[in-house]
Amino acid sequence: MESQFQPLSAPHIAVLCLVVIVPVVLSIVARRGGERTTTIICNTSATVMFVNMAVYWVYRLDEVGIEEFLQQHLPLHICGMATLALVVTLILRNRYTFEIVYFWGLAGTLNALVTPQLEVAFPHYRFFQFFISHGGIVAGALFLVWGLGMRPTIASLGRAFGWLFLMTCVLLVVNPLINANYMFLQEPPVSASPFFFAPWPYYIPVLAGIALLFFSLLLAPFEVTAWWRRRLEKDDGVS
């Protein structure tokens, strides 16, 4: 009999620690190793993320069949789209896909890491697949900032939120047509997330407001730092 996943168990806590430790280590190695080392890290990380997703597709397709696969396992949740955006960003270093990884990944996937919708525990395959996917998004977003020096802006916040709004509108139409629940727009997930406290459909605008708040919090350190630098430069100019 498979053991049940327990939030904040020893394996769960270990994964949460690795999500911070790994990007710190990779960022130090990338900065000290130069462009070639950075490229190897980016390409290897992108490969790991894509292969992990592809293997999961094969696993689920074999397990549930094509109809249920299309209804539940396409990369149309926040985390699935953020994974694909991360792969593209690591390979091409595209600033537009970076915005999706940074804002969607840290605001949405971080919540999934802390309160995962996962039934099986370590060492089941799904435990590793889930945390490589979700932990990889958060670790990848941190590496893009710390290791590659990519930065979000107010404009990028607007674009990230705009894409999120557009995907919400599309899936509100698509979900009923294929009997799906992508982005949990038809019903809340079975998890300990505190953000689905309102009944459907009222939790949808609530989540939009929470997303905008989290996006703003994620941008705040960069805006405060930029403001402080401008102030120091102004003071130096006066003196």
How would DSSP label each residue in 104-125?
Answer: IIIIIIHHHHHS----B-TTSH
Return the exposure string of 218-237: e unless at least 16 CB atoms fall within 10 Å of the residue's CB, then b.
bbeeeeeeeeeeeeeeeeee
CA–CA separation, 217 and 212 (whole Å): 9
The pLDDT of 90-104, averaged and rounded, is 96
Contact indicator for 87, 49 with CB cutoff of 8 Å: yes
The pLDDT of 107-129, averaged and rounded, is 88
Contact indicator for 147, 38 with CB cutoff of 8 Å: yes
Which pLDDT band holds residue 1 (cuts at 50, 70, 90)? Answer: very low
> Percent of the chain, pLDDT > 90?
77
Please indicate, yes or no, if residue 224 is contained in any of the structural domains.
Answer: yes
The string of pLDDT tens digits covering residues 158-205 is 999 999 999 999 999 999 999 999 999 999 887 656 777 788 889 999
Tell if the pTM clears 0.85, that is, is over it: yes
Please indicate, yes or no, if residue 5 is contained in any of the structural domains.
Answer: no
Domain count, the chain: 1
Please indicate, yes or no, if residue 4 is contained in any of the structural domains.
Answer: no
What domain range includes position 74? Answer: 10-238
Please indicate, yes or no, if residue 76 is contained in any of the structural domains.
Answer: yes
